[in-house]
Amino acid sequence: MKKTLLLASAISLMSLSAQAQYYQNQRQYYHTPYQQNYYQQNAAPSVQPQQQYIESRYIHPYLGVSYAYSMADFDDDITLFGDENYKIFDDKFHSLGFSAGLKFHPNFAVELSYQKSNKAKGSSNYSYTGYDLTDNANFKTEADLQTFAIDLLGYLPVDEGFSFLGSVGVGFYKLKYSGTYSVVSSSSSGILYGSESDSESENKVGFRIGVGAEYFMTDNLALRGLARFNLINTKGSEIADYHGTKMDDWGKLNHTIDFNLGLFYYF
The ranges assigned to domains in the chain are 2-54, 59-266
- Give CA–CA dist 192/189, Å, rounded: 9
Report the candidate in 25, 27, 167, 31 with the shortest Cα–Cα distance to residue 107: 167
pLDDT of residue 82: 61
Which of 3.40.718.10, 2.40.160.20, 2.40.10.10, 3.40.50.170 would CATH assign to domain 59-266? 2.40.160.20
pLDDT of residue 248: 65
Give the tens place of pLDDT for each residue, 2-58.
444 444 554 444 444 443 333 333 333 333 343 444 334 444 455 445 444 444 468
Report the candidate in 209, 115, 219, 140 with the shortest Cα–Cα distance to residue 170: 209
- pLDDT, greater one: 74 or 16: 74
Range of lowest pLDDT (47-56, 73-82, 158-167, 177-186): 47-56
Give the tens place of pLDDT for each residue, 145-168.
999 999 999 999 999 899 999 999
C-beta of residue 195 within 8 angstroms of C-beta of residue 169: no
Q: Which residues pair with 148 in a beta bridge?
A: 114, 172
State what percent of residues in the chain have pLDDT above 70. Answer: 71
C-beta of residue 102 within 8 angstroms of C-beta of residue 60: yes
Report the candidate in 211, 121, 210, 130 with the shortest Cα–Cα distance to residue 170: 210
- Give CA–CA dist 212/156, Å, rounded: 10
Tell whether pTM > 0.75: no
Strands (E), the chain: 30-33, 53-56, 60-75, 78-80, 83-84, 92-105, 108-117, 120-130, 133-159, 162-187, 190-216, 221-231, 237-242, 245-250, 252-266
- pLDDT, greater one: 93 or 196: 93
Whats the size of the chain, residue-wise?
A: 267
